[in-house]
Amino acid sequence: MKALHPNALRLPLHLAARLWLALLLIGLWELTADAGPGSYFPPPSVIVRALHRVWFSGPASDFFLTEQARSDFPVSFGHLLSGWVLAAAAGIALGLLLGRSERAHDYLQPLLQLCRSVPPPALIPFFVVVFQLDTSMYVVTIAFGAVWPVLLNTLAGVRAVDPVKLDTARVYGMGRTAQLLRIVLPGAAPQIAAGLRIALGFGLILMVLSELVGTTSGIGARLVNAQRTFDIPSMWAGIALLGLTGWLLNAAFLLVENRLLRWHREN
Amino acid sequence: MLTIDALTHSYPGGHTAVDDLSLAVEAGELVTVVGPSGCGKSTLLRCIAGLQRPTGGRVLLNGDEIRDVPDSLAMVFQSYGRSLLPWLSVRDNVALVLRHRYGSRRERRAAALEALAEVGLADAAAKHPGQLSGGMQQRVAIARALAYGPKLLLMDEPFGSVDAQTREDLEDLLLALRARTPVTVVLVTHDIDESVYLGDRVVVLTGAPGRVLAELPVGLPADRDQIKTRQDPEFVRLRAEVGRLVREK
């Protein structure tokens, strides 16, 4: 028999060292929870079964998605993605403007501080009045909440760009646009990326919040619906689904970020 | 070629860095500027480069007053680590400044590789600046400056942040490159030996606010050697002279 390479055990051991407490707690939960119908804290196995039944028990040809998942996921994630992209575009553009122009900064900063102080969920009633329950309501709600981390991080990143690099660019004949695209934007990219990642989390929160209001489609709406019909396992399944989604989005973003900004980690 | 006429620069807040400084540099010359720290050497270079408008006096390049960064000028900064772009490969760092010179990306990259080969870094072209030593990074900055094809090259304490051995290598590299390309160089340094070793002429500035205290022609043969030149009586005489002037208040 071939001897096991010493490195072969490293990853499982590493994972075990990191995960044992979480697994232990989930195990305790499983053993102590009340599995009976109507329990407010059903054990994890019941939640996983509900998660599977409600969202992931569809035919293989549909990637195992149930009909409900196929109707809700595109709605919810469509809102999230559109809102996030809108927030990213607006946040980066405004951050560049404010970071590069002292005058724009002086004029707009108080106004932006004021807007930022408003908790985005407080604006949902207003957005409902303006946009009704149209897609734009969800997208604008998400964008309004998610824009701040992008804007503030872009602003900080742009202001931190090394003046020597800008001097270098000027000496070598780069105009303002070239400086912006080739020096300022890449220089601020690590901070912008951090802002975009935080914005993704904010966006997910606001996606759910906006779907709790008077709508019948989307993951958030299912969650409220399950709660109203006392289908506690399905409600928990929705919560677990959202938690998993948040974790997956963050992990996917980190993967892309690490790849694109490898130079930053190496410095 | 370069005429500095009664240059004065005061910063907001009242600090005068350069006061009534006049200097002329001939085409093809390598002039070193030396002076006590804080004598406005960097301010002088920034005004020549057009990065900063002087509060008084004029800088003329081939008879035209410098108002913005001239096309035919390149600059090597002391902090190579801050001047190179860490997100680009060494080759692309050089190629980036050639956008006005060559139409296609392929031509730019070829020219960049050629310039890197000139400074002995052909093998490092694909690396990123962070993967290179300080001396190698400054070589990249020099390659970038020369690839740009300047008539006038400004160097702001270019070898101030590298170790002694690397410093000597870079000094000789500069002399070798200059022998091959017709470029005028103004090099600022706080190192008295370096000012004499590299210069055709040494300009000594007074302490702040800076003005020209003395101009000393360097009567050494153009072909210089780290060991022999430094033993030359002319070198010894000049460095003593410059040293005395720098210490003079």
Distance from CA of A261 to the nearest CA of B (A): 8
Q: What is the DSSP letter of A5?
A: P
Contacts of A17 (CB under 8 A, 6+ apart): none
Q: CB distance A173–B71 less than 8 Å?
A: yes
Q: CB distance B51–A162 less than 8 Å?
A: no
B192 assigned to some structural domain: no
B163 assigned to some structural domain: no
Higher pLDDT, B208 or B12: B12
Average pLDDT over every residue of A196-218: 90
Mean pLDDT score of chain B:
90
Q: Token pair of A255, please?
A: 């993967």
Which among A171, A186, A261 has the least Cβ separation from residue B49?
A171
A42 assigned to some structural domain: no
Contact indicator for B18, B47 with CB cutoff of 8 Å: yes
**Cα–Cα dist B105/A128, whole Å:** 51
Contacts of A172 in chain B (CB under 8 A): 74, 96-97, 144, 148
Range of the domain at B134: 80-149
**One-letter amino acid for residue A3 of the chain:** A
**Cα–Cα dist B201/B213, whole Å:** 13
Chain A stretch 208-267, residues whose beta carbon is closer than 8 A to a beta carbon of chain B? 261, 263-264, 266-267
Helix boundaries (H) for A213-231: 219-228
**Cα–Cα dist A166/B69, whole Å:** 13
B92 assigned to some structural domain: yes
Residue with tokens 């080969």: B117
Counted domains in chain B: 1
A162 pLDDT band, cuts 50/70/90, is: very high
Separation in Å, CA B17 to CA A162, B139, B209: 23, 30, 5
Average pLDDT over every residue of A78-87: 96
Higher pLDDT, A267 or A223: A223
Chain A stretch 134-173, residues whose beta carbon is closer than 8 A to a beta carbon of chain B? 162, 164-165, 167-168, 170-173
B10 assigned to some structural domain: no
Range of the domain at A178: 60-266
Q: List pLDDT tens digits, range B154-199.
A: 999 999 888 888 899 999 999 998 888 889 999 999 899 999 999 9
Ordered DSSP codes for A121-187: GGGHHHHHHHHTTSHHHHHHHHHHHHHHHHHHHHHHHHHTS-HHHHHHHHHTT--HHHHIIIIIHHH
Q: List pLDDT tens digits, range B10-65.
A: 888 878 888 889 999 999 999 999 988 777 888 899 999 999 999 988 999 988 88
Does the pLDDT of residue A3 top 80, yes or no?
no
Q: List pLDDT tens digits, range B134-163.
A: 989 999 999 999 999 899 999 999 998 888
Mean pLDDT score of chain A:
90
User: Given CB atoms, is A182 within the 8 Å cutoff of chain B?
Assistant: yes
Higher pLDDT, B86 or B38: B86
Does the pLDDT of residue A252 top 60, yes or no?
yes
| CA nearest to A151, candidates A141, A159, A162, A161 | A159
A39 assigned to some structural domain: no
B124 assigned to some structural domain: yes
pLDDT value for B18: 87
Does the pLDDT of residue A168 top 70, yes or no?
yes
B205 assigned to some structural domain: no
**Beta carbon pairs, A and B, within 8 Å:** 54
| Burial class, A7, CB count within 10 angstroms (exposed 0-12 / middle 13-18 / buried 19+) | exposed
A55 assigned to some structural domain: no
* Bond preceding residue B217 cis, omega within 30 of 0: no
A134 assigned to some structural domain: yes
Contact indicator for B47, B11 with CB cutoff of 8 Å: no
Ordered DSSP codes for B56-106: EEEEEETTEEP-S--TTEEEE-S-HHHHS-TTS-HHHHHHHTTTTT-SSHH
- The number of residues in chain A equals 267
Higher pLDDT, B202 or B13: B202
Q: CB distance A266–B131 less than 8 Å?
A: yes
Does the pLDDT of residue A4 top 80, yes or no?
no
Does the pLDDT of residue A37 top 80, yes or no?
no
**Cα–Cα dist B23/B31, whole Å:** 10
Share of chain B above pLDDT 70, in %: 100
B48 assigned to some structural domain: no
Does the pLDDT of residue A7 top 80, yes or no?
no
Does the pLDDT of residue A2 top 60, yes or no?
no
Counted domains in chain A: 1
CATH code (residue A153): 1.10.3720.10
pLDDT value for B100: 81
Average pLDDT over every residue of B221-227: 86
B98 assigned to some structural domain: yes
